[in-house]
Amino acid sequence: MVYGAKLRGLTLAAGLAAMAGFVETAAAETALERGAYLMRSVVACGNCHTPKGPKGELPGMELAGMSNLDVRAFWTTHAPNITQDKETGIGAWSDAQIIAAIREGKRPDGTIIGPPMPIGLYRNLSDRDVRAIVAYLRQVKPVKNAIPKSEYKIPLPPAYGPPVITVAEPPKSDKLAYGAYLAGPAAHCIECHSPMSKKGPDIENQLGAGGLQFKGPWGVSVSANITPTGLGKYSDAELKAMITTGKRANGTHLKPPMPYPYYAHMRDEDLEAIIAYLRSLPAKQGLQ
């Protein structure tokens, strides 16, 4: 995978800087604080796992699951309940089991989690961030809400790769590497904004070219080209506004499932890193 290759290519100096940055940040931010920031902004798990109504997210149902999340020719998927309810949620899972589900796509019973959960990208979530997400999930109130199992007409892999042992976080001082981390494993922008192939979003060949369709109550939305081909006509300020408010410079609005209500809470330094990374991508032809 493109991002994985970049991560493996970090120099030893960058790796040491990442560890230094982790120690410095960890001292200033608790795991729960980090988890709350990620879940309410960059990672935005609630965009899929919190049920929605005509006016937005249903009150009192945070992360309680959403039926018919993604209906395509190859599958009908449902976002499971990830509250602390022990019967219909993940309250009975250990921290290690939750982390394995997120980074390896494996449930405690050994079954594999399928699309659109972006396991290929989540494998590169840093140790700090995945533990922070678990810390946040642990304090979400349990909601009893049974969600159907997803159905697939394509075979799921026996595994997404070998067990993930440890993943360092790129240092914020390396703006492009940190932006790649945020736009990849954390927010998985590059998955939704890459066209679909028979094996899923074509990140390998058409990274960021757009064209992936999403059907919902809003109709059909199509992900935009987020390479320099599509972003070149916008300033950084205009891109920040689009990401955080869903409003384009011409006054029109982006459609779901772009999670701009979550991205509205993203820190400016993270927005800047993502934009810098997207501007560095190879230009691809596609939806603009």
pLDDT recorded at residue 127: 98
- Nearest-angstrom CA–CA distance, 102 and 105: 6
Give the whole-number percent of the chain exceeding pLDDT 70: 90
Give the contacts of 223 (CB within 8 A, at least 6 positions apart).
Answer: 192, 193, 194, 210, 211, 212, 213, 214, 287
Q: What is the mean pLDDT of residues 48-54?
A: 93
Q: Are 171 and 269 in contact (CB under 8 A)?
A: no
Domain boundaries defined on the chain: 9-152, 175-280
Span 147-188, pLDDT tens digits: 999 999 999 999 999 999 999 999 999 999 999 999 999 999
Q: Please determine, for residue 3, whether its predicted confidence score (pLDDT) is greater than 60.
A: no
pLDDT recorded at residue 287: 56
Q: What is the mean pLDDT of residues 126-146?
A: 98
Confidence of residue 218 (pLDDT cuts 50, 70, 90): confident
Span 194-203, pLDDT tens digits: 998 777 788 9
pLDDT averaged over every residue in the chain: 90
Domain 175-280, CATH number (from 1.10.760, 1.10.3470, 1.10.10, 3.10.450): 1.10.760
Lowest mean pLDDT among 47-51, 68-72, 138-142: 68-72
